[in-house]
Structure 1
Amino acid sequence: MLTLTDGAVQVIRTVTTHPELPPQTGIRIATSGIDGSNALNLSVAPAPEAGDQVVEAEGARVYLEPGAAELLDDKTLDAEVDPQGDVAFTIGDSETEV
Structure 2
Amino acid sequence: MLTLTTGAVQVIRTVTADPQLPPDTGIRIESGLNGSDALRLSVAPAPEAGDEVVEAEGAKVYLDPEVAVLLNDKTLDAQVDPQGDVAFTIADGTEPV
State TM-score, norm by structure 1: 0.92
What secondary structure is seen at the aligned counterpart in 2 of 1:49?
Answer: coil
Rg larger for? 1
Greater RCO, CA 8 A, separation 6+? 2
State TM-score, norm by structure 2: 0.93
Partner amino acid, structure 1, of 2:10: Q
Partner amino acid, structure 1, of 2:24: Q
1:1-60 per-position Cα deviation (integer Å, ceiling 9, x unaligned): 0000000000000000111101110000000252x4422000000000000000000000
Q: 2:93 maps to what in 1?
A: 94
Q: 1:60 maps to what in 2?
A: 59
Hey, which bits of structure 1, 4+ residues long, moved more than 2 A? none
Question: 2: distance between equivalents of 1:16 and 1:33?
Answer: 24
- Give the number of aligned pairs: 95
Structure 1, gaps ≥5 residues long: none
Structure 2, gaps ≥5 residues long: none
